[in-house]
């Protein structure tokens, strides 16, 4: 079988190939064609070479990438892959390299940036994964805690301990069999990331004889890592908020010979060092000294800067393992037990996983590599020369929990509590659980309402202080206070109350950040030697904004209740006065809370992105930075619903579209749906897809365009399979199935209306299909297919994965008499069609046990006879034809 690319109506790629390696090549090729600009930017980000075409603003990222040695770590991890995984990743890279120039020719960004497509190396996908997740665990927060302790004292180290910028907002939930309408589990949720153009997740289907998986892939990385549905088992993750990266204070010195030494637990020891050069578009090259101690690469400071430097230690650099051997194994998983065993080898990032299979089994666990070391390592930078802070192995086994009806993950403490310091507040998790508790009959379609919930529970502390403040303010402030206290606490896009609340919150954040207690922290962002890259973690206003709930409720902080009340009172008066003096009606929340996606090239200044509902602590977590901007740069990077009853009932959506090419029809066609909270169906029926570059016209009758399969048979003619249209084909169908020669078909006494009703019902199913086989344009046979597990025959034998059932009725020959090889030629076409889907491993037939001619014909074709079975309408004889017997290439 050649590699095939199909698309659904949203342009989502469905890839199938003869084997896993060929499929990886096809996935790489698709990434190069659909996402050429995106994956090339990611390759350069992983290598630290983006400034060469993006200019001086990209130097800080490139410097960090070089100093942290991401590309070298990726190479080390690739070299430790199993031979099978290495070949699989290499095949993906070969696919990218084979199509990258073609893809780049369609992407105008290359010309705009003056960038030529480059060459991917075998370990580049591992580098892309590393660069995507290296800041995921938020190790720069330890620099912030150092500054808090230095300025406010050690007791204040965890004062701002809450989810920080860019880390949380993801949701996931599992509804077990006993709580769904179908009696099978449902998994749903939405990963929260910076919204990028093109999107960080790509909807895709990967099918070959070993597996058939739909899910969300990361362009530039093979397989489907975080969100997938194999048809038998489905899984999803959220960030566990674990701490698994350490910062060590290093003392460095140069040796007389020009080398570098670092002070370790046993004294001064040699450190590796060399210099690299960052090319910068429109500016001079920038030299970067690369230093690595026994702890890890030095990312801040150096031997010539004086004082102490800081090194980064994280599992992939230490162990040479990124967990990529897990990726192909995930695709082959068929049960939650399979997934559970596979996930024991996962490394980066550390995730909370929810999974369920078609048998109703569930899984809720943490997966990833968390080193065992003192708690102090998680809090702040620690001295490299003190052996007390060394790593002592890996946490194993990881935490897990039983699922009783439902399970929710939303970056809250939960089962990941032993592995982290800062977690998301419980509001999203609590709200999802509250909503799930409202029903015991959930369906896949019901999940969209949970995705889009806008209730803001974190508003409670500010509104509580507002109620107290109202008694000591002027009339305008009293009116504003009364209005907000009556507010339903929903951050809806059309809500003006939400806008007023956001304005009050922003003013409170600014006043707290400027309070004498926290004033010293305002100088942190300007303090050397912190690189510019880490400034978002060191800025006081965002830190106050995300910790606002804790700061307003006290929790042992330095502000008294009187201090907090005074801040809220002053903020209320200020916002009320602005409302009076502004003279304009308050705009709805969606007017200021607009999507602001990241784009590698400067965005069109005239481009207007849509307004959004939601807020950081809503289930609809469309995060802004209160006190800085109402715009939302982070939010649901995808939404998904995995239905374990029927995979084709699953749903998904991404913020923009399937294509990364700006001129493509599917570049942003899902954006309006994403904004409204609508989802598109996951299509699994190949007959409902169209080949790459083609759009079959199903109204074209029996023309070639309406055929789902076509084959030229030497000496016989062209055979085309055309889906049955019950209304169009009823006369032919009724005449064939009611003839005496078709008595084994079981419809001999059916009226025309009964036949029509039967095939209309068949046409409504996604597990059963009927086709007319046309030989040189003339109807020759009726061919039907079905999934045995969805058919009564599935109750009569042990169905194997990959079984696909068929029924065959040869049409009348028009009085010309028997033609040698006639049935065999048709049968060979039907078998070819079934096996054109790599998920089909065995053809199953069940002719009437009395139909000795049909049974003999099957044996001659290579079928292996099985047992006789009792069906309600007949006694049948099972027969099986495996893919291996056909010897397909």
Annotated catalytic residues are 170
Q: Helix-strand-coil percent breakdown of the chain, rounded to 5?
A: 40, 20, 40
Q: In angstroms, what is the C-alpha Rg of the chain?
A: 31
Q: Which of the 8 DSSP states describes residue 412? A: S
Two structure tokens written together for 565: 């009340």
Q: Find the Cα–Cα–Cα–Cα dihedral 588, 575, 466, 453, rounded to 10°.
A: 20
- How far is the CA of 711 from the CAs of 719, 726, 774, in angstroms? 5, 24, 11
Residue tagged 């802070």 (tokens): 389
Half-sphere exposure of 603 (CA within 13 A, CB side): 13
Residue tagged 């596979």 (tokens): 342
Cβ proximity of 784 and 723 under 8 Å? no
Q: Find the Cα–Cα–Cα–Cα dihedral 50, 56, 58, 60, rounded to 10°.
A: 120
Two structure tokens written together for 427: 């509001």
Going edge to edge, which strands form the sheet with 406-409? 406-409, 171-175, 186-190, 639-643, 651-653, 680-681
Among the listed residues 31, 16, 21, the one whose alpha carbon sits nearest the alpha carbon of residue 83: 21
Element (H, E) at 545: helix 540-546
Residue tagged 């190939």 (tokens): 17
Residue tagged 């029509």 (tokens): 756
CA separation for the pair 272, 249 (Å, rounded)? 17
Residues in the chain: 889
In terms of C-beta distances under 8 Å and separation of at least 24 residues, what long-range contacts does 560-569 make, across chains too?
A: 563/515, 563/517, 564/465, 565/465, 565/468, 565/469, 567/508, 567/511, 567/512, 567/515, 568/462, 568/465, 568/466, 568/468, 568/469, 568/508, 569/469, 569/472, 569/473
DSSP string, 95-147: HHHHHHHHHHHH-HHHHHHT-------TTHHHHHHHHHHTTTT-TTHHHHHHH
Going edge to edge, which strands form the sheet with 246-250? 298-300, 309-313, 246-250, 382-383
Q: Crossing angle, helix 36-47 and helix 20-34, to 10 degrees? A: 100
The three-state (H, E, C) secondary structure of 474-508, written as one string: CHHHHHHHHHHHHCCCECCCCCHHHHHHHHHHHHH
- How far is the CA of 427 from the CAs of 75, 408, 796, 835, in angstroms? 41, 12, 49, 50
Among the listed residues 631, 630, 625, the one whose alpha carbon sits nearest the alpha carbon of residue 609: 631
CA separation for the pair 234, 641 (Å, rounded)? 10
> What is the phi/psi pair of residue 864, to 5°?
-100, 125
CA separation for the pair 443, 17 (Å, rounded)? 33
Q: Which of the 8 DSSP states describes residue 588? A: P
- How far is the CA of 712 from the CAs of 557, 773, 782, 826, 837, in angstroms? 79, 13, 18, 11, 19
Q: Which of the 8 DSSP states describes residue 811? A: P
Q: How many CB atoms lie within 10 A of CB 319?
A: 16
Among the listed residues 85, 80, 92, the one whose alpha carbon sits nearest the alpha carbon of residue 121: 92
């Amino acid at each position: 079988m050649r590699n095939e690319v199909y698309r659904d109506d949203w342009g989502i790629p469905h890839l199938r190939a003869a084997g896993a390696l060929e499929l990886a090549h096809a996935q790489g090729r698709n990434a190069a064609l659909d996402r050429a600009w995106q994956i090339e930017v990611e390759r350069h980000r992983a290598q630290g070479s983006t400034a060469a075409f993006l200019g001086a603003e990209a130097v800080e990222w490139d410097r960090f990438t070089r100093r942290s040695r991401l590309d070298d770590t990726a190479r080390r991890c690739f070299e430790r892959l199993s031979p099978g995984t290495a070949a699989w990743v290499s095949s993906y890279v070969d696919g990218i390299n084979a199509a990258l120039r073609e893809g780049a020719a369609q992407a105008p960004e290359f010309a705009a940036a003056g960038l030529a497509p480059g060459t991917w190396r075998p370990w580049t996908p591992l580098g892309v994964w590393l660069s995507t997740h290296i800041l995921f665990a938020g190790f720069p927060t330890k620099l912030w805690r150092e500054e808090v302790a230095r300025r406010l004292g050690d007791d204040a180290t965890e004062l701002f301990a809450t989810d920080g910028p860019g880390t949380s907002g993801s949701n996931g939930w599992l509804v077990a069999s006993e709580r769904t309408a179908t009696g099978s589990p449902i998994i749903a949720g939405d990963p929260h990331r910076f919204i990028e153009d093109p999107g960080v997740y790509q909807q895709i289907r990967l099918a070959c004889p070993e597996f058939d998986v739909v899910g969300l892939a990361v362009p530039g990385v093979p397989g489907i890592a975080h969100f997938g549905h194999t048809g038998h088992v489905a899984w999803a993750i959220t960030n566990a908020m674990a701490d698994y990266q350490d910062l060590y204070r290093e003392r460095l010195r140069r040796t007389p010979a020009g080398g570098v030494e670092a002070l370790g637990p046993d004294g001064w020891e040699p450190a590796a060092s060399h210099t690299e050069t960052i090319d910068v578009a429109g500016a001079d090259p920038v030299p970067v000294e690369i230093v690595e101690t026994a702890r890890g690469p030095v990312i801040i400071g150096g031997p010539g800067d004086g004082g102490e430097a800081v090194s980064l230690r994280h599992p992939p650099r230490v162990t040479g393992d990124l967990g990529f051997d897990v990726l192909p194994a995930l695709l082959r998983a068929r049960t939650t037990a399979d997934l559970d065993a596979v996930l024991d080898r996962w490394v980066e990032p550390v995730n909370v996983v929810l999974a369920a299979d078609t048998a109703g089994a569930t899984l809720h666990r943490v997966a990833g590599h968390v080193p065992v070391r003192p708690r102090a390592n998680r809090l702040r930078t620690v001295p490299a020369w003190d052996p007390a802070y060394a790593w002592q192995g890996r946490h194993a086994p990881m935490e897990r929990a039983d699922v009783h009806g439902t399970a929710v993950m939303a970056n809250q403490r939960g089962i990941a509590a032993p592995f982290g310091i800062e977690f998301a507040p419980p509001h999203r998790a609590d709200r999802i659980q509250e909503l799930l508790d409202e029903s015991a009959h959930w369906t896949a379609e019901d999940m969209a309402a949970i995705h889009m919930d806008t209730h803001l529970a974190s508003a409670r502390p500010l509104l509580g202080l507002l109620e107290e403040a109202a008694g000591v303010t002027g009339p305008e402030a009293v009116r504003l206070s009364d209005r907000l206290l009556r507010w339903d606490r929903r951050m809806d896009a059309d809500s003006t109350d939400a806008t007023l609340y956001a304005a009050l919150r922003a003013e409170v954040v600014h006043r707290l950040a400027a309070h004498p207690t926290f004033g010293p922290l305002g100088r942190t962002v300007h303090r050397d030697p912190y690189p510019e890259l880490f400034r978002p973690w060191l800025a006081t206003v965002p830190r106050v904004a995300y910790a606002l709930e804790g700061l307003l409720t006290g929790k042992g902080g330095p502000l008294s209740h009187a201090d907090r009340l005074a801040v809220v009172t002053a903020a209320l008066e200020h916002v009320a006065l602005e409302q009076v003096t502004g003279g304009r009606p308050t705009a709805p929340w969606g007017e200021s809370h607009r999507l602001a996606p990241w784009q590698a090239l400067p965005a069109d200044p005239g481009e207007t992105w849509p307004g959004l509902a939601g807020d950081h602590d809503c289930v609809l977590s469309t995060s802004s930075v209160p006190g800085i901007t109402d715009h939302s740069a982070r939010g649901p990077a995808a939404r998904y619903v995995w239905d374990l009853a029927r995979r084709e009932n699953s749903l998904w959506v991404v913020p923009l579209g399937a294509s990364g090419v700006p001129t493509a029809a599917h570049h942003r066609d899902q954006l309006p749906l994403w904004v409204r909270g609508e989802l598109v169906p996951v299509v699994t029926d190949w007959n409902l897809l169209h080949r790459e570059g083609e759009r079959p016209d199903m109204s074209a009758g029996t023309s070639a365009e309406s055929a789902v399969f076509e084959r030229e048979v030497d000496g016989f003619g062209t055979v085309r399979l055309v889906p049955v249209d019950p209304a169009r084909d009823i006369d032919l169908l009724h005449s064939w199935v009611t003839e005496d020669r078709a008595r084994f078909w079981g419809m001999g006494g059916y009226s025309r209306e009964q036949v029509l009703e039967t095939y209309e019902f068949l046409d409504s199913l996604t597990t059963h299909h009927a086709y007319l086989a046309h030989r040189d344009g003339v109807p020759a046979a009726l061919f039907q297919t079905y999934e045995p597990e969805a058919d009564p025959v599935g109750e009569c034998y042990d169905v194997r994965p990959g079984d696909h059932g068929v029924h065959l009725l040869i049409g009348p020959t028009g009085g010309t008499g028997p033609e040698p090889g006639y049935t065999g030629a048709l049968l060979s076409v039907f078998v070819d069609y079934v096996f054109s889907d790599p998920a089909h491993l065995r053809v199953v037939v069940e002719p009437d046990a009395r139909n000795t001619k049909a049974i003999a014909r099957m044996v001659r074709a290579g079928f292996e006879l099985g047992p006789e079975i009792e069906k309600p309408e007949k006694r049948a004889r099972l027969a099986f034809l495996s893919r291996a017997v056909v010897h397909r290439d």
